């Protein structure tokens, strides 16, 4: 599309042009939605030509970045449903399709990669037609690699998708749908103009905060930023005010002019709710202010990220961060390390629990250290509706996996003779660890997964503490199901026995639920050979030296501290939480 519309010159062309981040290019996935302005000339039946301007938003596909997709859909009139002609529709594609249908967008179904030897366009066109209720002949066949059918797709976009609706003479109103922080120019705000016109050197007002700024530059993205003379109804572009405070440009806010501005703001976006929480701590405690600043700037670019300060006895000062999923957590941590040069430790991820104490008090628990002591009347955990699409030969292994993770089958449909859609209700805590990995390995990589919130359910959960020398180490605590507590305790004690270096005295590593010990390992003491100089002589001298050593060890055990090196924390937490790397 970028080549055909001429917005990118041939010599500047490269693969994955709109994927700007290194992580996106390395992993081959889209993380940030990117918008680009595309000019296109359409020839009418009478031979005359029309210049059309389209705005394309390239959105992510992974379930963790659904929030990016929902924001993009608010700014669009239509959507291109892109399906791989060799693999068919995936679970998260289906979820995004339903989002677009809810917004009443015009859907253009397209099969891409028809140049692949394994492509089966007829079969998957019938599958798409069955899902969205069109004819198989309505599904366009294109190849992004060879360019076949792309021109026809652009013509079809112009023909089917309606132009934007707005009042050019009304007071200016523009919706902020994204913003980034530029070291040299401050906050760059991306907007879609709904009514009126926004011009450079004009004074604008943010309607949620009431703050006013002078516009230094107004421009379009094509696909590199270009300054323009202003933005009109339906246009998408960027605004630069020179503001350095990242909190003054909130995604979902309405921008209007300071003079004769609009009274009524546009309806913003639904605030995303974090599904997974994890602690982020700098390896070097002095990096704490840098981590705060980095999170501030990253939140501007990623509105789904939430964080608040917290302290840990073992890890020092850090932040409790909320994420939409495990991939979101992994990407955020990697971006903080790459873009801001930080070295971080992340604690095991956990979900939000609602706990009712014996006295009837309710509390939200996002961190195992907040788990109330004493008897609890009721514990509720979040559940999700899981959709899995896979070849029908793998139904058995998938069902076995879901049942082992406390899943309940909600239904099963055949999309075609060889592909099946399974729907399960499962606890979110069972999915956020290695579920995706296990699913992929059991289905040889053919299954795709999507999930959405489905309320909460009562569950028998316990907090497992890890004790060193009888002292709990908060960084290793976890909230697990009663049946899995023993396995978690054994795993952590065995792992820590290998990771913690031997001390001058014996160190017991224990896992406990309350005061009940469920697993134990011992780290043997380093023994110095105090009899090395005693050759021959009276046995009583040897006994005296051994007794003295024994007394010393005993005294050290009562006053000594277990030295847990930073590497042991990193290894125990990362191998526990980071074993699964979901891919798109």
Q: Give the residue ranges of the annotated binding site.
A: 112-115
Per the CB < 8 A criterion, the answer to whether 258 and 273 are in contact is: no
Pair of tokens at residue 114: 């028809």
The sign of the dihedral angle between the CA atoms of 388, 391, 394, 399 is positive
Residue 322 pairs with which residues in a beta bridge? 277, 306
For 492, residues 6+ apart whose C-beta sits below 8 A from its C-beta are 464, 466, 476, 511, 519, 572, 576
Per the CB < 8 A criterion, the answer to whether 319 and 292 are in contact is: yes
Q: What is the largest CA-CA distance in the chain?
A: 118
For 25, residues 6+ apart whose C-beta sits below 8 A from its C-beta are 16, 19
Per the CB < 8 A criterion, the answer to whether 320 and 574 are in contact is: no
Q: Is the peptide bond before 223 cis (omega within 30 degrees of 0)?
A: yes
Per the CB < 8 A criterion, the answer to whether 391 and 446 are in contact is: yes
> Measured between alpha carbons, how far is 496 from 469 in angstroms, rounded to an integer?
13
Per the CB < 8 A criterion, the answer to whether 113 and 68 are in contact is: no
12, exposed or middle or buried, with CB in 10 Å at 0-12, 13-18, 19+?
Answer: exposed
Cα→Cα distances 558→470, 521, 548, 550, 564, Å = 11, 19, 16, 13, 17
**Which residue positions form the known binding site for GTP?**
112-115
Cα→Cα distances 246→255, 321, 323, 526, Å = 16, 18, 20, 53
DSSP state letters, 8-32: S-GGG--TTTT--SHHHHHHT---S
- Strands 344-346 and 376-391: what pairing? unpaired
> Measured between alpha carbons, how far is 322 from 584 in angstroms, rounded to an integer?
21
The residue count of the chain comes to 584
> Measured between alpha carbons, how far is 359 from 377 in angstroms, rounded to an integer?
8
- Strands 186-195 and 203-206: what pairing? unpaired
Helices assigned H by DSSP within 60-197: 66-74, 91-102, 121-132, 150-160
> Measured between alpha carbons, how far is 448 from 93 in angstroms, rounded to an integer?
10
Sheet with 78-84, strands from edge to edge, namely: 78-84, 106-112, 140-141
Residue 574 pairs with which residues in a beta bridge? none
């Amino acid at each position: 599309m970028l080549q055909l519309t001429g917005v990118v010159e041939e010599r500047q062309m490269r693969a994955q042009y709109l994927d700007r981040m290194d992580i996106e290019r390395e992993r081959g996935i889209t993380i940030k939605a990117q918008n680009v302005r595309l000019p296109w000339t359409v020839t009418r039946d009478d031979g005359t030509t029309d210049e059309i301007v389209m705005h394309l938003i390239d959105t992510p596909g992974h379930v963790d970045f659904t929030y990016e997709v929902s924001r993009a859909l608010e700014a669009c009139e239509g959507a291109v449903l892109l399906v791989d002609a060799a693999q068919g529709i995936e679970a998260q594609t289906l979820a995004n399709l339903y989002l677009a249908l809810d917004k009443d967008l015009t859907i253009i179904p397209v099969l891409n990669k028809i140049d692949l030897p394994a492509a089966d366009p007829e079969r998957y066109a019938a599958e798409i037609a069955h899902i969205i209720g069109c004819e198989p002949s309505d599904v366009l066949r294109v190849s992004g690699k060879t360019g076949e059918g792309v021109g026809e797709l652009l013509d079809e976009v112009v023909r089917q998708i309606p132009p934007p609706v707005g009042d050019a003479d009304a007071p200016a109103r523009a919706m902020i749908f994204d913003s980034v922080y530029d070291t040299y120019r401050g906050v760059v705000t991306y907007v879609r103009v709904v009514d009126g016109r926004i011009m450079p050197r004009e004074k604008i007002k943010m309607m949620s905060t009431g703050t006013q700024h002078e516009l230094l530059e107004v421009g379009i993205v094509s696909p590199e930023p270009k300054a323009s003379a202003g933005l009109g109804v339906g246009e998408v572009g960027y605004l630069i005010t020179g503001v350095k405070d990242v909190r003054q440009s909130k995604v979902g806010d309405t921008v209007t002019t300071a003079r004769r501005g609009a009274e009524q703001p546009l309806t913003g976006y639904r605030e995303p709710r974090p599904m997974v929480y994890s602690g982020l701590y700098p390896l070097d405690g002095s990096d704490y202010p840098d981590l705060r600043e980095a999170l501030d700037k990253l939140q501007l670019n990623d509105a789904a990220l939430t964080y608040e300060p917290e302290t840990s006895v073992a890890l020092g000062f850090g932040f409790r961060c909320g994420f939409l999923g495990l991939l979101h957590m992994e990407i955020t941590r990697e971006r903080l390390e790459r873009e801001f040069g930080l070295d971080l430790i992340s604690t095991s991820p956990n979900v939000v629990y609602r706990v009712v104490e014996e006295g009837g008090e309710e509390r939200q628990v996002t961190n195992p250290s907040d788990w109330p002591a004493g008897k609890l009347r009721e514990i509720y955990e979040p559940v999700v509706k899981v959709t899995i699409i896979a070849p029908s030969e793998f139904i058995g292994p998938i069902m076995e996996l879901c049942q082992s993770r406390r899943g309940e089958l909600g239904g099963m449909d055949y999309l075609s003779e060889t592909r099946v859609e399974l729907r399960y209700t499962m606890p979110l805590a069972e999915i956020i660890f290695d579920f995706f990995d296990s699913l992929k390995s059991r289905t040889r990589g053919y299954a795709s997964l999507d999930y959405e919130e489905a309320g909460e359910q009562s569950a028998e959960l316990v907090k497992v503490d890890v004790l060193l020398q009888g002292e709990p180490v908060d960084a290793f605590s976890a909230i697990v199901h009663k049946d899995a507590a023993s396995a978690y305790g054994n795993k952590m004690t065995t792992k820590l026995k290998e990771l913690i270096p031997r001390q001058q005295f014996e160190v017991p590593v224990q896992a406990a639920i309350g005061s009940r010990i469920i697993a134990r390992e011992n780290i043997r003491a380093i023994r110095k050979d105090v009899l090395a100089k005693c050759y021959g002589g009276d046995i009583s001298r040897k006994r005296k030296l051994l007794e003295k050593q024994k007394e010393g060890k005993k005294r050290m055990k009562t006053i000594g501290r277990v030295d847990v090196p930073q590497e042991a924390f990193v290894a125990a937490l990362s191998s526990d939480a980071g074993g699964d790397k979901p891919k798109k």
